[in-house]
Amino acid sequence: MKQTLRISYWLKGAAMGIAETVPGVSGGTIAFITGIYERLLNSIRSFGPMAWQAWQKD
């Protein structure tokens, strides 16, 4: 079951990426339609200031 969920999230993420290459279609819209928008926002919110600072150093 967990492997199936990972594949599902991967495919939804791939759809978001592909949507960014299509004029007029947003990856955020695809995230909303596929039901992962809230999870995406929570993942982004989980980054604290230290994570951003570490990311900018590289």
Supply the pLDDT for residue 51: 77
Q: Which sign, positive or negative, has the C-alpha torsion 19, 24, 28, 31?
A: negative
Supply the pLDDT for residue 26: 92
Supply the pLDDT for residue 58: 57
Question: Domain boundaries in the chain?
Answer: 2-48
**What Rg, from alpha-carbon coordinates, does the chain have?**
14
- Which DSSP state fits 20? T
**Which tokens is 21 given?**
């290459």
Q: Please state the pTM of the whole predicted model.
A: 0.69
pLDDT tens, position by position, 1-58: 689 999 999 999 999 999 999 999 999 999 999 999 999 999 888 888 887 777 777 5
One-letter amino acid for residue 56 of the chain: Q
> Pseudo-torsion of CA 48, 49, 50, 54, nearest 10°?
110
